[in-house]
Amino acid sequence: MAPLQNFVLLVLLTITLGLVTEAAQKHQAIPSEKEKNELERQLKAINKPAIKSFKTEQGDIFDCIEIHKQLAFDHPLLKNHSMKPTTVPEWITSNNIPGKVDSLLLLPDGINCPDGTVIVKRTTMQDLLHAQRLKSMGFNGPRHFLTEKNNTDGTGQYYVATVNYGPKSFTGVKGHLNLWEPQVSQDQISLAFIAVAGGPKERFASIFVGWMVNPSLYHFSQDHVRLYTYWNIEGSNPGCYDITCPGFVQVSKNIPLGSFLQPLSVYNGSQYDIDLTLYQDRVKGDWWFAYNHENVGYWPASLFKAARFENRANYASWGGQVYSPLIEKTPEMGSGHWPSEGLGKAAYVNDIRIIDGMGNFLYPEPYSLKEHETSAKCYRAMYVHENRDPWVRALYYGGPAGCIG
């Protein structure tokens, strides 16, 4: 089947899936025979033939897929383009890699994909049902970090605690995201992110990367803290996650999106973080994602042409976000503790930097980062800037569960 047809099929099936949501809302998610067939067709379109597969103790399946046959290329805008970035930022080739982050386990031993393939977490029917269920509840993805909407609207409660940067012109961001497992209920989401955005208001494009706790989306695992990416263009692309939508071109054989992250930080104990970077190829305009200094993949510039996001970002954001259905109390954000408790207790984002038009990694001017809290009563952001390491530009953010906004 031609890629375009596949894409159209996906869109159609996504619409068809709306039918399933009523059952899903009752926590049953038992599709009819017909719906099941539709889901299976959709899965077939999403999960490409694997050269090799692995199953983890958590029940996740990882497939090694030929790089040119991955789902990304089902996107109609991604037909003719090459796989390599044309400018590799200096830091990727430098040896200046901190040892701490490398000890994080992303995959169990023994999982390795052959050359010429990429590693992809296999999408399951449960994944589709639960993603659809969230959508039916009104959660389409992380909320745009600039808009000052109500914390509560017809579909749910959303809270954000971040530092924001912009409007400016720059080509990337980085940060170390402290890893925690905030407590959430089945239908709630708590996430940490770094994000870039730009383009005109009606076509605002954004890219988020970070970790997410979302029992619905990652149903089978006991380990809920997952690496995720999300991209969105207001008014056109409805937004979708790492594994279930075309667009993101995976290049890594080692770092699958959607894999669970460990070890997690302990309150008043050991702290762990992941080093995330979003940077733009300054020649082609592609947006790259690097995890602990390894290139995971990229969103080709052609996805963002209509949004005029293919050259330079205008805004950046670092911090946390939660979503809850209206009928439930809010979940924890970050470590579930207030920023004022500080290191070892509150969740942090450290080493906040931006990448300028020349590809230099810079600490933003102290005054150029602004705290942003949609409800200071529920969750807070505390911006920290010092003149020397290790907290030159950093953020503590979060708060406990059970707030009434």
Ligand X SMILES: *[C@@H]1O[C@H](CO)[C@@H](O)[C@H](O)[C@H]1NC(C)=O
Residues in Cβ contact with 44 at an 8 Å cutoff, skipping those fewer than 6 apart: none
Q: Is 36 in the site for ligand X (CB under 6 A)?
A: no
Task: Give the other-Cβ count within 10 Å of 384's Cβ.
Answer: 18
Q: Does 79 bind ligand X (CB under 6 A)?
A: yes
81: CB partners within 8 A, 6+ apart: 300, 302
Indicate the SS3 state at residue 143.
coil
Q: Which of 284, 137, 271, 291 is nearest to 217 (CA)?
A: 137
Residues 169 to 188: which contact ligand X by CB under 6 A?
none
Q: Which is nearer to ligand X, 196 or 301 (CB)?
A: 301
Nearest distance, CB of residue 290 and ligand X, angstroms: 28
Between residues 38 and 332, which has the closer beta carbon with respect to ligand X?
A: 332
3-state secondary structure of 209: strand
CB of 30 to ligand X, least distance (A): 35
CB of 108 to ligand X, least distance (A): 31
**Least distance in Å: CB of 232 to ligand X?**
20
x/- contact string, 98-137, with ligand X (CB under 6 A)?
A: ----------------------------------------
Residue with tokens 């600490």: 363
Q: Based on CB atoms, which residue is closest to ligand X, 47 or 374?
A: 374
Q: Hey, which bits of 236-285 come out as E strands? A: 240-241, 249-250, 273-280
Is 358 in contact with 402 (CB distance < 8 Å)? no
If the CB atoms of residues 2 and 358 are measured against ligand X, the closer one turns out to be 2
Residue 80 or 387: which CB sits closer to ligand X? 80
The distance of closest approach from Cβ of residue 153 to ligand X in the complex, given in angstroms and rounded to an integer, is 7
- The answer to whether residue 86 forms part of the interface with ligand X (CB under 6 A) is no
Q: How far, in Å, CA of 156 to CA of 163, rounded?
A: 23
Work out whether 150 is an interface residue with ligand X (CB under 6 A).
yes
Contact 31, 17 (CB under 8 A): no
User: Is position 34 an interface residue for ligand X (rule: CB under 6 A)?
Assistant: no
CB atoms within 10 A of CB 325: 17
- One-letter amino acid at 200 equals P
How far is Cα 357 from Cα 172, in angstroms, rounded to an integer?
9
Minimum distance, C-beta of residue 345 to ligand X, in the bound complex (Å): 7
Specify whether the CB–CB gap between 224 and 130 falls below 8 A: no
Cα distance between residue 129 and residue 216, in whole Å: 9
Taking the CA of residue 46 as centre, how many other CA atoms within 13 Å lie in the half-sphere pointing to its CB? 24
268 binds ligand X (CB under 6 A): yes
> 47 to 66, contacts with ligand X by CB under 6 A?
none
# chain residues binding ligand X, by CB under 6 A: 5
Which of the 8 DSSP states describes residue 268?
Answer: T
Site for ligand X, residues 328 to 387, rule: CB under 6 A: none
Tokens for 276, please give them. Answer: 């995330």
334 versus 364: smaller Cβ distance to ligand X: 334
80 binds ligand X (CB under 6 A): yes
Our CB check for ligand X shows the closer of 149 and 377 to be: 149
Closest CB 149 distance from ligand X, rounded Å: 6
Q: Which is nearer to ligand X, 62 or 299 (CB)?
A: 299
Q: How far is the CB of 322 from ligand X (least distance, A)?
A: 18
Smallest gap from Cβ 95 to ligand X, in A, equals 35
Question: Between 109 and 148, whose beta carbon lies closer to ligand X?
Answer: 148
Amino acid symbol at 33: E
Q: Helix (H, G, I), strand (E, B), or coil: what is residue 383?
A: strand
List contacts with ligand X (CB under 6 A): 79-80, 149-150, 268
